[in-house]
Every structure is written in structure tokens, then in C-alpha cells.
Chain A
Amino acid sequence: KAGVTQTPRYLIKTRGQQVTLSCSPISGHRSVSWYQQTPGQGLQFLFEYFSETQRNKGNFPGRFSGRQFSNSRSEMNVSTLELGDSALYLCASSPGQGAFNQPQHFGDGTRLSIL
């Protein structure tokens, strides 16, 4: 069974640009969560999508947005990039229903560097 796939693995952007990251969950998983990992702030929850609907959201500015498609694949977009957005962005998937909706399967992440 294929794991969570994130593309691209590495990205370099400049301030003010926007970026889109992609995540394909494990087959059959309907929930996709996104996390930002930085040395200073650690791992922080961005948002979660289930059946194309955002169910939960962390404390990030509106520049961070996402969406989920009918095949459960998800994209995350960051607009007007800032230096502080440099981070490893992790995607995780889970079945999304019942008691066990916590993300348990993570991708290898997209490392975003802002110049």
C-alpha cells in the first residue's frame, strides 16, 4: 500500500511569491491534515480537510489556505511569501471518521525555502 506522497520535495521561492504544495493520501483515507515544522516553533497544525470540507483550522494567517479534491488529494497554498514561511510542510492522512481520526501516516514533507 503506497504511503502519503508529497510533491515537490523541495521548493525555493522569493518573498512575495505564492506557492502550492500537493499531498496524496493513503488510498481510502479521506482526511488530510497539514503541519508546518520549523526549528523555532516546532510542529504546528495548519488545517484539516475531510470530504472536500475544512473541518479544523490552526492559528495561521489567511495567507495559508488549502483545499481537497473529490479523490481526497489535497493542496496547500501560501500567498505573499515571507521569510518566516521557510519550513518543512508535512501532510498526514487518516480514515477521518470514528474515534481514530488522528493523523497517523505522514508524508516526507516539502521543504520550502524563501529567499
Chain B
Amino acid sequence: AQSVTQLDSQVPVFEEAPVELRCNYSSSVSVYLFWYVQYPNQGLQLLLKYLSGSTLVKSINGFEAEFNKSQTSFHLRKPSVHISDTAEYFCAVSEVAGGTSYGKLTFGQGTILTVHP
């Protein structure tokens, strides 16, 4: 079975400051890793994903995450945040293969990022 731990439930930061949202996972098999963002009264939007290849993945709006297999981590970072980044962020894992992976993501409990002016 897999599990995901998001180490911070809330992260307040000031605008233009850097931010890191931490995510650790546990799995006995190889996994894919994802970060999703959820704005109030909306569904989840995929921010970025690690499937294979380069361990550093980037989104179009300045976020990046690095897959660290030895530390089983997939932390999300942004060098300079904006007010519009205020949202809840979810880390998720999925098994690479097998019937139990179909459609199934295991999510962390979420981190609420609040960007203050």
C-alpha cells in the first residue's frame, strides 16, 4: 500500500518570497508522482508530474519539483510567489503498473499556501 505525507498543513508566505511545500511518500513499488492545485470551489488542476527521466520537473507558471528516490520525497518549490498562488496543493502518487493502479491516485492531506501582500 502507498501513503503520502505532506509535512505542512499550512504555509504562509509573503509575496515574492520563495516557498517549498514538502511531500514524502511510501511505496513498495515504483511510483509516478504528481502535484495538484485546488482553488476554492473548484476541482483539481494538475500542476506537474514525474513519470520518468529527469528528476527535476517544471510547470509553466514557475513551480518545480524534484524526485528524490533515496529520500522518497517530491518537494514543490517556487522561487518567487504571487498572490494568485494562494490555494491548496496536493501531492499524489500512483503505482507504475498493475491493475490496482488504474485511475487510482493516493493523495496527501494537502497544504494550504497563503501568500500575503
Question: Is chain A's binding surface mostly helix, strand, loop or mixed?
Answer: strand
Instruction: Provide the residues of chain B in CB contact with A105, threshold 8 Å.
Output: 46
A72 within 8 Å of B by Cβ?
no
A55 within 8 Å of B by Cβ?
yes
Interface size on B, as a range, is: 20 to 34
Q: How far is the CA of A45 from the CA of B4 in the complex (A)?
A: 14
Instruction: Provide the residues of chain B in CB contact with A32, threshold 8 Å.
Output: 103
Give 13 A-B pairs besides A45-B106, A56-B100, A56-B104 with Cβ atoms closer than 8 angstroms.
A42-B107, A43-B90, A43-B105, A43-B107, A48-B102, A48-B103, A55-B99, A58-B104, A92-B44, A100-B51, A105-B46, A107-B43, A109-B43
Q: How far is the CA of A96 from the CA of B94 in the complex (A)?
A: 14
Instruction: Provide the residues of chain B in CB contact with A33, threshold 8 Å.
Output: 103-105
Interface size on A (CB < 8 Å)?
32
Chain A: residues with CB nearer than 8 A to chain B?
Answer: 4, 6, 31-33, 35, 42-45, 47-50, 55-56, 58, 90, 92, 94, 96, 99-109
Residues in B35-57 with C-beta less than 8 Å from chain A: 36, 41-46, 49, 51
